[in-house]
C-alpha cells in the first residue's frame, strides 16, 4: 500500500512536469500549427538560467525561477522572430524541421554554458520527505504538481480572460480573419513562443529540483511531452494536463511494479511506457482525448 501511494505521488509530480511541457507544445501548436522540437533545449537552457540566478547572484528559488522564465520568454520570442517567422505560409513539416535545427544549436549552447561544473537550481525541496499514511513522500513531487497546476492555471486564465489571450485564441482559430479584425498576428506568434519557452524553463527548473544538477543529457525527457499531447489532443490545454498526469502515473507505476511482475521487459522499461501509450492512442483515437477532430477538404 505504501508502495502504491509513494509511486502515485511520484507519478503525479512527474505528471505535473509533463503537463507543463505539454502546455508548452500545445501553445505553439495552436498558434502556428508547428510541433516545437526545440522544447527540450529550451527546457535545459531555462534550468541553466534558473540555476545561474540562484547560485551566482544568490536569489531565492522562487525569484530565480521567475527570472529564468522571463529570460527564456525573451529568447523564445527572438527565436520565433529570426527562425520561424520566415516560415509562415510554408508547409508545417518544414517549419517543424527548422525547430529541429534550433534544438541542436541550443543544446550545444546550453551544454557549453553549463560546462563541466555542477549547477543546481538551489531549490528548497532537496530530498526532503513528509510522511502520509506511513508512506514517505518527496516534497519535490508535491511541489512539482502544485507549481505546475498553478502555472497552467495562470496561462489558462490569461488565455480565457485577457484581451491579448482572446486575440491569441482568435489567431489560433483563423489567422486571416484575425488579421482583418486588427490583430497583429505576428506578435501573437511571438507571444505564444514566449509563453511556451517560459513554460519550458519552468519545466527545466522543476525537473532539476531535487536532482543533483543541470545536465544536457536529460533534455530528451522533454520529448515525453509528445505522447502527452497526442493523448490529450494537440490543441487542448485541458487535455495536456489530464494526459500529463495519466502518463506520469503510468510511468511511475511501471517503474515500481514492472521489475517485480514483468522483469523480462528489461531495465528502465518505464522510460518507453509513454511512447507505447502514444502508439495505442494513435491506433484508437488519433486526435486524442480532447483534441479537435481534423476536418479535411480538397
Q: Which residues in this chain contact another protein in the complex, by CB under 8 A? A: 34-35, 83, 86-87, 90, 92-98, 100-105, 108-109, 111-112, 115-116, 220, 223, 226-227, 230, 265-269, 271-272, 275-276, 278-279, 282-283, 286, 296-298
Task: Give the separation between CA 59 and CA 145, rounded to whole angstroms.
Answer: 23
The nearest distance, CB 221 to another protein, in angstroms, is 11
| Dist. CA 50–CA 31, nearest whole Å | 27
Q: How far is the CB of 207 from another protein (least distance, A)?
A: 18
156 or 186: whose CB is closer to another protein?
186
Residue 272's Cβ-count burial label (10 Å; 0-12, 13-18, 19+) is middle
Q: Where are the alpha helices (DSSP H) in the chain?
A: 2-32, 39-52, 61-79, 92-114, 139-161, 163-173, 175-180, 185-208, 225-232, 237-261, 273-284
78 vs 149 by CB, closer to another protein: 78
Q: How are beta strands 135-138 and 129-132 bridged, if at all?
A: antiparallel
Q: Output 102 or 121, the one with its CB closest to another protein.
A: 102
CB of 257 to another protein, least distance (A): 18
**Closer CB to another protein, 115 or 182, in the complex:** 115
Report the nearest approach of another protein to the CB of residue 185 (Å): 19
Q: How far is the CB of 271 from another protein (least distance, A)?
A: 7
Contact 190, 77 (CB under 8 A): yes
Amino acid at each position: 500500500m505504501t508502495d502504491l501511494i509513494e509511486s502515485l505521488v511520484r507519478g503525479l509530480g512527474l505528471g505535473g512536469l509533463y503537463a507543463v511541457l505539454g502546455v508548452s507544445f500545445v501553445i505553439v501548436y495552436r498558434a502556428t500549427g508547428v510541433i516545437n522540437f526545440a522544447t527540450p533545449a529550451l527546457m535545459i537552457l531555462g534550468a541553466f538560467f534558473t540555476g545561474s540566478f540562484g547560485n551566482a547572484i544568490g536569489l531565492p528559488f522562487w525569484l530565480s525561477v521567475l527570472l529564468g522564465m522571463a529570460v527564456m520568454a525573451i529568447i523564445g520570442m527572438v527565436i520565433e522572430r529570426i527562425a520561424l517567422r520566415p516560415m509562415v505560409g510554408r508547409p508545417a513539416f518544414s517549419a517543424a524541421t527548422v525547430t529541429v535545427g534550433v534544438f541542436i544549436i541550443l543544446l550545444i549552447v546550453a551544454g557549453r554554458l553549463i560546462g563541466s561544473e555542477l549547477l543546481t537550481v538551489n531549490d528548497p525541496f532537496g530530498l526532503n520527505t513528509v510522511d502520509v499514511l506511513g508512506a514517505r513522500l518527496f516534497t519535490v513531487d508535491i511541489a512539482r504538481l502544485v507549481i505546475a497546476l498553478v502555472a497552467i492555471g495562470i496561462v489558462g486564465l490569461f488565455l480565457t480572460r485577457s484581451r491579448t489571450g482572446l486575440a491569441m485564441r482568435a489567431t489560433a482559430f483563423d489567422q486571416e480573419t484575425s488579421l482583418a479584425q486588427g490583430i497583429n498576428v505576428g506578435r501573437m506568434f511571438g507571444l505564444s513562443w514566449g509563453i511556451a519557452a517560459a513554460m519550458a524553463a519552468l519545466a527545466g527548473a522543476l525537473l532539476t529540483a531535487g536532482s543533483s544538477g543541470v545536465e544536457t543529457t536529460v533534455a530528451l525527457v522533454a520529448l515525453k511531452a509528445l505522447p502527452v499531447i497526442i493523448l490529450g489532443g494537440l490543441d487542448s490545454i485541458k487535455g495536456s494536463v489530464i494526459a500529463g498526469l495519466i502518463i506520469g502515473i503510468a510511468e511511475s507505476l511501471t517503474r515500481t511494479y514492472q521489475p517485480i511482475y514483468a522483469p523480462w521487459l528489461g531495465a528502465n522499461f518505464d522510460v518507453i511506457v509513454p511512447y507505447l501509450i502514444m502508439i495505442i492512442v494513435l491506433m484508437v483515437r488519433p486526435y486524442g482525448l480532447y483534441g479537435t477532430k481534423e476536418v479535411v477538404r480538397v
